[in-house]
């Protein structure tokens, strides 16, 4: 099997995991260590978290990380695991659709088979969300770039209506329809976890729906019963890991005790898992 055909097969495998009612569960990773730990836990695929990845590289989330550094980190993650990887590429690391297409070509070259593309805006004075026609053009550019490479890249269109307080179900459905028409394969609506809301989104979107879960959200099985096809947790695992570091450091520097470290992973197990080349 050639490299190109292997990438196409991996993309098809990843696409097939999106089944409404039997969701693909993606514990998001941000570096090679977290990626291997997640894979070892049994994940059938991986998704990166742009926030966790940016923090690991010393940058803030929200369009502050440049494409080259971001994709270099994604490349290391792809190389570290055997399962399919979807890359969170924020807004596409580009100012225009042509730049988004360039990002997609780079993503495919490093071996990822899925992307998240968000519609949030972060520039001072800009609205909370990119206008629908502009975002649709960017998604269409991503789709065209993947199609030209003959790879069925899974384009997950992230809609930040709920996350940014910029609209409810109706506005989300309107955006979803436009983005699907532009070539998106799935719709990701972070911030929407109320069961009634999730059900309305699932019923109103003719594509796999991705929910971002976390503490207080319905369980995976409950989301499955609503017809969700993909469950991820965004930066939550990275946040929990960094919180542990802070608690351990404060305990050590303050009380001089070590209780926070009691449940650490076994050294030998981690050394074996993380120390060998793939």
Q: What is the β-pairing status of strands 154-158 and 114-118?
A: parallel
Token couple for 266: 């076994």
> What integer pLDDT is reported at residue 125 of this predicted model?
77
Cβ atoms 144, 114 nearer than 8 A: no
> What integer pLDDT is reported at residue 277 of this predicted model?
55
> What integer pLDDT is reported at residue 278 of this predicted model?
59
> What integer pLDDT is reported at residue 56 of this predicted model?
97
**CA 230, CA 15: separation in Å to the nearest integer?**
11
Q: Quote the CATH superfamily of domain 3-234.
A: Phosphoenolpyruvate-binding domains (3.20.20.60)
Whether the CA torsion 158, 164, 168, 171 is positive or negative: it is negative
pLDDT per position as a tens digit, 122-138: 988 788 999 999 999 99
**CA 205, CA 96: separation in Å to the nearest integer?**
26
Cβ atoms 60, 108 nearer than 8 A: no
Token couple for 235: 């930066």
Which residues, 6 or more positions from 119, have their beta carbon under 8 angstroms from its beta carbon? 91, 129, 130, 135, 157, 158, 159, 160, 175, 179
Closest to 233 (Cα-Cα) out of 52, 11, 75, 15: 52
pLDDT per position as a tens digit, 18-71: 999 999 999 999 999 999 999 999 999 999 999 999 999 999 999 999 999 999
Q: pTM of the full predicted structure? A: 0.96
Q: What is the domain partition of the chain in residue ranges?
A: 3-234
Q: Give the chain's residues under pLDDT 70.
A: 276-278
List the strands of the sheet with 46-47, edge to edge: 24-26, 230-232, 209-212, 186-188, 154-158, 114-118, 85-88, 46-47
Counting every residue written for the chain, the total comes to 278
**CA 87, CA 79: separation in Å to the nearest integer?**
13
């Amino acid at each position: 099997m050639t490299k190109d055909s292997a990438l196409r097969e991996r993309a098809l495998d990843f696409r097939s995991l999106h089944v409404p009612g039997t969701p693909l569960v993606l514990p998001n990773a941000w570096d090679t260590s977290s990626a291997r730990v997640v894979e070892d836990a049994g994940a059938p695929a991986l998704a990166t978290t742009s926030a966790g990845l940016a923090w690991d590289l010393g940058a803030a989330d929200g369009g502050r990380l440049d494409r080259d550094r971001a994709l270099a980190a994604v490349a290391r993650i792809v190389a570290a695991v055997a399962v399919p990887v979807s890359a969170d590429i924020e807004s596409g690391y580009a100012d225009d659709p042509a730049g988004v297409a360039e990002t997609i070509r780079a993503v495919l070259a490093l071996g990822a088979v899925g992307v998240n593309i968000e519609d949030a805006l972060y520039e001072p004075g800009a609205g909370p969300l990119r206008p629908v026609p502009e975002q649709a053009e960017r998604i269409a550019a991503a789709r065209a770039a993947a199609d030209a490479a003959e790879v069925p890249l899974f384009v997950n269109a992230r809609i930040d209506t709920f996350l940014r307080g910029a609209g409810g179900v109706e506005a989300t459905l309107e955006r979803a329809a436009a983005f699907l028409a532009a070539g998106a394969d799935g719709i990701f609506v972070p911030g929407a976890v109320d069961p009634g809301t999730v059900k309305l989104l699932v019923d109103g979107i003719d594509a796999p729906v991705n929910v971002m879960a976390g503490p207080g959200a319905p369980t995976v099985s409950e989301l499955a019963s609503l017809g969700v096809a993909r469950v991820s947790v965004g930066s939550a695992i990275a946040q929990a890991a960094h919180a542990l570091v802070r608690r351990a450091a404060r305990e050590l520097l303050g009380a001089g005790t070590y209780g926070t470290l009691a449940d650490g992973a076994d050294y030998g197990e981690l050394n074996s898992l993380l120390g060998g080349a793939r």
